[in-house]
Amino acid sequence: MKTILCLTICMTLLVSVNESALAQSSSLYAQQSKPVMPQPVKGPDGRYDRLSPTIAQASFSAVPLPEPRGYALHDLVTIIIRESIENDISSTTETKKSMSVDGEVTSFPSIASMLELRPRTSPTTNNPTVGLEFDRDFSGEGSHKRTDSFTTRLTARIIDIKPNGTLILEARKRILDGKEDVTLVLTGTCRKEDITSDNTILSTQIYDLYLRKQTAGEMKKASEKGVLTKILDTLFNF
């Protein structure tokens, strides 16, 4: 009888130990099932690695991203200019004006009195009258449509670097072809992150863009109005 009682107690203890072990192992499994995200690692220069640690651990062909290029004063950057401006304006004007004036003369100066240097007025029997009427109608309609496009490449020089890292660019280009003279001037501000790996940037990514194209020569003279045409346009401008 004692032997049976001892066996029963031992079996009960073994079952309780197994249940606690299973519960502990299941809780450990639950804790291990949550993946631990690796934290970014700083490099020797104090900056974080641009390659994700998760990708670096899971892929054998992962290639780190190239480090951003540093820029200094007087470095050169190529600007790709692609600008297009389109204007379409139309207007209609219509005015109307009328005026009427009536007058009557009641007396005239006496000629005899004027000869005696004593001007006096003499009454008139038939008073002359004066009348004036003026009518004006004007209607006008005008339209203006213009499309300008400009595409070229310019090499700019960094003339200043702001404390936040933005770059101030300046580009100048002059072309002399016989008697033709073309001068291009460009200035603006850009972010260094917008400059591509081939050291180019679009003009649409430049803030406060100033672009001037100045021409001189025979072509410019041929496209301008003459002096006589300008005078006639001024006289008949109304």
In a domain, 100, yes or no: yes
Q: How confident is the model at residue 9 (pLDDT cuts 50, 70, 90)?
A: low
Residue 23 in tokens: 């519960």
In a domain, 79, yes or no: no
Q: Give start and end residues of each alpha helix (H) in 82-226.
A: 111-115, 218-223
At 167-187, the pLDDT tens digits run: 999 999 998 888 888 899 999
Average pLDDT over residues 80-95: 82
Report yes or no on whether pTM surpasses 0.85: no
Asked if the structure places residue 98 within a domain, the reply is yes
Instruction: Supply the range of the domain harboring residue 133.
Output: 89-143
Q: How confident is the model at residue 237 (pLDDT cuts 50, 70, 90)?
A: low
Strand positions, DSSP E, 46-204: 76-104, 107-109, 121-123, 129-161, 167-177, 180-190, 200-202
pLDDT of residue 140: 76
Average model confidence (pLDDT) for the chain?
Answer: 74
DSSP state of 196: -
Q: Does some domain include residue 99?
A: yes
- Please indicate, yes or no, if residue 136 is contained in any of the structural domains: yes
Is residue 130 situated within a structural domain? yes
32 compared with 71, residue with greater pLDDT: 71
DSSP summary character for residue 147:
E
- Which residue has better confidence, 35 or 115? 115
Residue 164: per-residue pLDDT: 92
- Residue 106 counted as domain residue: yes
Q: What is the pLDDT of residue 28?
A: 44
pLDDT of 108 reads 61
The answer to whether residue 41 sits within a structural domain is: no
Comparison of pLDDT for 3 and 146, the residue scoring more: 146
Report the domain count for the chain: 1
